[in-house]
Amino acid sequence: MTIQDRSPESDIPGKPTSASRTTLSHIMTGSDTNLLGTVHGGVIMKLVDDVAGAVAGRHSGGPAVTASMDEMAFLEPVRVGDLVHVKAQVNWTGRSSMEVGVRVLAERWNESTPAVQVGSAYLVFAAVDENGKPRRVPQVLPETEKDRQRYQEAQIRRTHRLARRRAIMELREKRATEGVED
């Protein structure tokens, strides 16, 4: 696979994956807990969305909004006192959209043990202009073999998202023509 420095229909120079890669770290406190005494999944999801938004804004050079969140996986519980690191990077870009991959790691704040992966997610962001309309984004330029793998996997996820959306719309149209109400 060859990825060019510029998209054929744009004068926007591409950006390497490392240009917008970001880590957000946060210590979990008692106000972050759910009824089971572990950190609420919604708190983790907000951190994921925050760091992914920062990455998308950095890559696109301006505002970007969350279009979807795919495959949010919680692998291990997060506890009060854990230092959570949320790492994100742009995996793939389209005309105005970007897939951002996020890994969530946790470690005890007062121990020197290695951080453990506790979650992961993929989000799609759309770059918007001052009127909220889509705007072009620079093509992402994978730098490592792992970056190239993420790029290819993101293309597969995009194909599946579009196919799922198309199948749902076709089903809704069919039900509407048959007079079936939702």
pLDDT tens for residues 73-94? 999 999 999 999 999 999 999 9
| Whether pTM exceeds 0.85 | yes
The predicted pLDDT at position 5 comes to 42
pLDDT per residue over 17-51, tens digit each?
999 999 999 999 999 999 999 999 999 999 999 99
Going from the C-alpha of 166 to that of each of 96, 103, 126, 153, 170, the distances in angstroms are 19, 29, 19, 20, 6
More confident residue, 129 or 5: 129
55: confidence class by pLDDT, cuts 50, 70, 90: very high
Beta bridge partners of 155: none
The partner residues of 23 in beta bridges, in order of sequence, read: 87
How high is the pLDDT of residue 6? 42
As a whole number, the mean pLDDT across the chain is: 92
Model confidence at 71: pLDDT above 60: yes
Mean pLDDT of 148-152: 97
| Predicted confidence band of residue 120 (pLDDT cuts 50, 70, 90) | very high
Rounded CA-CA distance 140/13 in Å is: 9
Give the position of tokens 């998308």: 56
pLDDT of residue 19: 95
pLDDT at residue 8 is higher than 70:
no
Place of tokens 């690191």: 85
| Partners of 128 in the β-ladder | 134
- In degrees to the nearest 10, what's the CA dihedral of 125, 126, 130, 131? -130
